[in-house]
Structure formats: C-alpha cells, structure tokens
Amino acid sequence: MISIDGSKCTKCGLCIPVCVRRIIEEGENSVQITEPGMCLYCGHCRAVCPADAPTFGEGNEQFPPAPRKEEIPGATAFLRFLRSRRSVRVYQNRPVEREKLSQIVEAGRYAPTGSNRQACRYVVVSGREVLDRMVRLAMQVLGEQAGRIKEALDRHHRLKEPLPEWVLPRQHFPAVWERIVGQWKKGVDTLLYQAPAAMIIHMEKSIASVPEVDASMAAMQMVLMAETLGLGTCYIGFLVRSIADSEELRKMLEIPRNHRALVAFTVGYPDVKYLRLVHRNPAKTAWIGEFKE
C-alpha cells in the first residue's frame, strides 16, 4: 500500500503533477494520498521526490538512483546503435549463458506497460534438443495451416466463394511454409535458424488493453539488450502462429490455455558480421501544428 513518510516529506509538491491517477494532494504537514486503492504503483512520485518520502511496502532496491546525464548516450550515438541492430539468421554453435538470458528478460521487465499491469510473461527455451522438438511441432502446424489455406483458395477460384477473413492475410504463406517444412525434412532449420535459444512473450487474454503494444515494447528492449551483450536476435512470427494453433506446443512451453503468445524471437551468438547500418525508406510523417526551427 502506498504511503507518505511525513518525517521526510518537505511538501515540495513535485509528486503531485506526476501522479497518473491524481491521488496526491497537499496536506497540513505533508502531501497525502487521497485514494490509496487507486494507486498504480508506477513509482513516478518516488522517482521525483528529493526526500524519498513515498513508500510502497517494498525495499529501496526497486528504486535505485537514476543515471546521470553523462551516463546516457547522445542522440547520434544512440541512433547509430538502433540502426546497427539487424535480424540474425546465422548463429555460432555455442550456447547462451543463463545469466545473459536473464539480463534480456530483465530488460523486458522494465519496459513501459499500460496501467502498470506488467502483464507480460516470458518463456526461455535453450538447447537444440528441446528447440528441435519445438520446431517439429511448429512444422506440423504450419503444414496443416498451409493445407487449409490452399483448400480455401481452391474453392475461391473454382466456386467463386469469397475468401474467409482469416485467409486474407495468410494467402501467400503456404508456399513459404511448405519451403520451410521441406528444408526441415532435409535437416535444415529455416524457422529458428539453428539458434541456441528462443524467447516467447505471452500474457493472459484481456488482461491488458493493448497486449500487442505491451509485448512489442518489452520485446524491443529485450533484443536491444541482447545487442549490448554481443548476441543476435530474429523475430519469428511463424512460431507465434504455430503456438496459437497447437495445444501441444502451448503445453510444452508452459503457456496456459487462457494466455496468448504475442512475440517470439531467437537468441544466439552471431556467426556473421554486418559492416553497414540498416537502410529504411524515408518516414511518412504528417507535421501538424507549429514547430520551432
């Protein structure tokens, strides 16, 4: 439960405007919490308080000092770092240390989260034996999905039936999936690219208002953390689709039936060195309002 240590509070009022739920106001001897049950435990009030007066019932280890300005990378260097990240599909035959995998999860844990719900759950899979089993199950699902899509496309062309809504965004996938399955039968993993580890983010259905956003923000921080650790990553959307349609995969990955897998990516030591930054087309931007040059 949130509270204010009156012996520390100086009534500076810095915490009042940053409170998301507007439940802090001036009191006689210190600021006071008007509706403690409404608190999101986001920590904004404690983060701005010079006296460290707000408390949440846990230790100070969750609220270490913010980095100094000189510790934060400059804009130019940071943008170069962002542009240096590429999807890695060639990995060394080398396991990733558990400590580094834990650091990647920690980066996701501190990502922004709507209403501070912290709904993301994480699955870390390591070792080719278990990863190969995961790929085999995914291949079975992708093969079955390709068959259903091709059947719907055939009925569409022969009988002029409208394509089902679920087919529309997937109508070009069967050829890709069949190629992946064919390569797997030859002993080549073009789903996970023979990576030594993979991570999946899932969450309970309906627990977050925008689950895809929460999971994507966590994933982006995770893959950037991986970059700092000398690791490469690659998002695997086809694995997410496979998990959605496979009870056996969900059981293997310990994902509850009332949860939804949202993001999956591989992790490993790259066996390739990129010498150029990422290229992108110019941003399509609408500038509305007044701007200072």
Q: What's the rounded Cα separation, in Å, for the pair 222 and 160?
A: 46
Do residue 140 and residue 225 come from a single domain? yes
Q: How many domains, in total, are found in the chain? A: 2
Model confidence over 83-131: pLDDT tens digits? 999 999 999 999 999 999 999 999 999 999 988 999 999 999 999 999 9
Which DSSP symbol is given to 136?
H
202 exposure class (CB count in 10 Å sphere: 0-12, 13-18, 19+): buried
Model confidence over 148-188: pLDDT tens digits? 899 989 888 898 888 888 888 888 899 999 999 999 999 99
Q: What's the rounded Cα separation, in Å, for the pair 44 and 24?
A: 11
Q: What's the rounded Cα separation, in Å, for the pair 16 and 8?
A: 16
Give the count of beta carbons closer than 10 Å to the beta carbon of residue 236. Answer: 22
Q: Model's pTM, two decimal places?
A: 0.90
Do residue 42 and residue 77 come from a single domain? no
If you average pLDDT over residues 193-214, what whole number do you get? 95
Model confidence over 55-89: pLDDT tens digits? 987 655 678 889 999 999 999 999 999 999 999 99
Q: What's the rounded Cα separation, in Å, for the pair 135 and 249?
A: 9
Question: The domain that contains 141 carries what CATH number?
Answer: 3.40.109.10
Do residue 43 and residue 90 come from a single domain? no
Please name the amino acid found at residue 292: K
